[in-house]
């Protein structure tokens, strides 16, 4: 709890104003009958997400628990997040954002019905460092992990 990531958002349009936005783990909650972290993502401060650990995977509550981070972490591995929403891993190596340069990073592509909707890049020991969706792009500016 208390982890915070600050992002520079650009091109967000009506969904997310350009500028600095925070993502934060604000506490614990029971969701879908399970204890989970309550996560407030940037530009969705009034729409909490709920995440929990399930062995080597992370589940997110979406009317039911769905695999947000699936094992194995390997190039091209894909899985269904919801009925019409597929996720896929791609190794991207080093990533440089305003918060620094990070190594061994992986990009998670989001796809629906064969179309790529966007991506979010994750780096070990930091978490999400950048994203690119139709609702805008983000770059990590700073972070504080508890």
Q: Block means of pLDDT (10 residues each) for the chain, length 146 residues?
A: 94 84 94 95 86 94 93 95 94 98 98 92 96 89 96
Backbone conformation region of residue 43, classed left if phi is above 0, alpha if psi is from -120 to 50, else beta: left
* Per-residue pLDDT tens over the stretch 51-71: 999 999 999 998 899 999 999
- The pLDDT, as a whole number, for residue 42 is 85
Q: Which of 145, 137, 144 is nearest to 19 (CA)?
A: 137
What per-residue confidence (pLDDT) applies to 105?
98
Question: Can you give the pLDDT at residue 45?
Answer: 76
Would you kindly state where each structural domain of the chain is located, as residue ranges?
A: 4-144
The predicted pLDDT at position 135 comes to 73
């Amino acid at each position: 709890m208390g982890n915070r990531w600050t992002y520079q958002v650009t091109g967000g349009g009506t969904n997310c104003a350009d500028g600095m936005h925070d993502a934060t783990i604000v506490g614990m909650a029971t969701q879908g009958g399970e204890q989970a972290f309550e996560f407030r993502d940037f530009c969705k401060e009034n729409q909490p997400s709920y995440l929990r650990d399930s062995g080597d995977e992370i589940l997110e509550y979406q009317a039911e628990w769905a695999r947000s981070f699936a094992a194995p972490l390997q190039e091209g591995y894909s899985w269904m997040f919801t009925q019409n929403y597929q996720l896929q891993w791609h190794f991207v190596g080093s990533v440089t954002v305003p918060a620094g340069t990070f190594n061994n990073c992986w990009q998670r592509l989001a796809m629906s019905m064969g179309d790529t909707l966007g991506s979010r890049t994750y780096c070990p020991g930091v978490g999400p460092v950048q994203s690119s969706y139709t609702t805008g792009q983000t770059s990590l500016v700073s972070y504080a992990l508890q």
